[in-house]
Amino acid sequence: MTQSDLRMSPPAARGRALRILVDGQPLDCHEGESLAAALLASGRRFTRYTARASEPRGYFCGMGVCHDCLVTVEGLPNVRACLTPVRDGLRVETQRGLGEWGGLS
């Protein structure tokens, strides 16, 4: 058996290219990816900072159990990045503490 026999063939196809905004900066990603996958692929390791000690938190379980990957999406805090699919024009912010509801006073 050769090394090429062990590879998956053909390579997995990626979805169409999309662009989201993360903390006001454009980020290119692909349809079908989770927000966590897109952020991690861009080199972002943290999605939020804790309320008490402002410690960074990022990806832990990757399946929506731990809540460490919380972000603010379209002004809505406490959204799990690992369960949220990307879509063109999505606005995402790194969450600070417990998050704030955007647009509400």
Residue 105 has pLDDT above 50, yes or no: no
Amino acid in position 100: E
pTM of the model: 0.82
Pick the CATH number of 16-96 from 3.20.20.70, 1.10.10.10, 3.10.20.440, 3.10.580.10: 3.10.20.440
Query: By the 8 A CB rule, do 93 and 72 touch?
Result: yes
Amino acid in position 72: T
Q: Would you place residue 14 in the very low, low, confident or very high pLDDT band (cuts 50, 70, 90)?
A: confident
* Tens digits of residue pLDDT in 26-59: 999 999 999 999 999 999 999 999 999 999 998 8
Query: By the 8 A CB rule, do 80 and 67 touch?
Result: yes
Q: Would you place residue 100 in the very low, low, confident or very high pLDDT band (cuts 50, 70, 90)?
A: confident
CA dist 79 → 2, 5, 14, 58 (Å): 44, 41, 24, 13
Gap between the Cα atoms of 40 and 46, Å rounded: 9
Q: Which ranges constitute the DSSP H helices of the chain?
A: 35-41
Helix (H) or strand (E) holding 81: none
Q: Would you place residue 6 in the very low, low, confident or very high pLDDT band (cuts 50, 70, 90)?
A: low
Q: Would you place residue 20 in the very low, low, confident or very high pLDDT band (cuts 50, 70, 90)?
A: very high
Gap between the Cα atoms of 54 and 28, Å rounded: 28
What are the boundaries of each domain within the chain? 16-96
Q: Would you place residue 12 in the very low, low, confident or very high pLDDT band (cuts 50, 70, 90)?
A: confident
